[in-house]
Homo-oligomer: A and B are copies of this chain.
Amino acid sequence: MNVVKLTDKRRIRGERSKQAIVKAAISCISRQGLHDATLERVAKKAKVSKSLVAFHFKSKTGMLAAVLDHQETMFENGWDTILAGNSVSTSAKLLELLDYDVRFSIEHRDYISVWHAYWGEPEGSSLYRNLSQPRDERYEKDVRRLLSILTEEGNYNDINITAIERGITAMMFGIWRDSHLAHAPNDYSNGMQAIYAYLQKVFPLHYKPKSFRNKNSL
């Protein structure tokens, strides 16, 4: 029994040190770009030895993959909670998901900077394509499903679901970029107002005119 407990403790400690290193890597990348996030620098930032970093991630590529996975998992957890939760309606659920998306970019500005760093280099872009895009495609599928339900519910004509979803997804990436570059107090309301104006035009029976204020917590 004691042996099992010891192994468990070791596993938990290992997981914790891994998480601390990933956080240090995010901090390094968002401050200095992808190139300067060497195993040495990240180890120094995380206050651990370089050999521990190498033990956990094998190589810089392994570390960069773990950073992407961490950020994506953080996003995914919140998304899935809303998706599985009890929303009062499909239109409310879609709005909650998009609201979550906008808030995420404001609460994790360093993540947005990191994603841009990946997209700005061939190695980073390639890692993103392999590791993150399958997840992105799943969110897009979730959105398309909700858009289909709304279209049926409202008996709307002439809705190109693929094009609408692509527009909303693209808009969200643009809003993320804005909140990363602007860091302005009205980033939340600006983003939500843009998204909501779209929903209102496409699904007028579901979304009535509304304005957004900045939340105190943001």
A114 at the interface (CB under 8 A from B): yes
A188 at the interface (CB under 8 A from B): no
A170-208 to B contact mask, C-beta < 8 Å, 1/0: 111111011011000000001101111110011000000
Interface residues of A, dominant DSSP:
helix
Most B CB within 10 A of own CB, among A162, A175, A181, A209 = A181
CB contact between A174 and one of B128, B171, B198 (< 8 Å): that residue:
B171
Complex interface: stretch among A32-40, A58-66, A76-84, A86-94: A32-40
When distances are taken between beta carbons in the complex, the residues of chain B under 8 Å from A32 are 35, 121-122
Name the residue on B nearest A125 (C-beta).
Answer: B181
A133 at the interface (CB under 8 A from B): yes
A117 at the interface (CB under 8 A from B): yes
Q: With A31-B122, A114-B120, A119-B120 known to touch, is A190 a contact of B178 (CB < 8 Å)? A: no
Q: List A residues 26-76 near B (Cβ within 8 Å).
A: 29-36
Q: Give A106 Cβ to nearest chain B Cβ, in Å.
A: 14
Q: Give A87 Cβ to nearest chain B Cβ, in Å.
A: 23
CB contact between A194 and one of B113, B170, B172, B195 (< 8 Å): that residue:
B170
Name the residue on B nearest A121 (C-beta).
Answer: B33
Does B128 lie within 8 Å of A181, measured CB to CB?
A: yes
A154 at the interface (CB under 8 A from B): no
Q: Which 7 A-B pairs have the closest CB atoms?
A: A170-B174, A117-B120, A116-B120, A173-B174, A35-B35, A163-B197, A167-B194
Can you list 20 A-B contacts with CB-CB less than 8 angstroms, sorted by A residue number? A30-B122, A33-B121, A35-B36, A113-B119, A117-B120, A118-B120, A119-B120, A125-B180, A125-B181, A160-B193, A164-B197, A169-B174, A170-B171, A170-B172, A170-B174, A173-B174, A173-B178, A174-B174, A201-B201, A201-B202
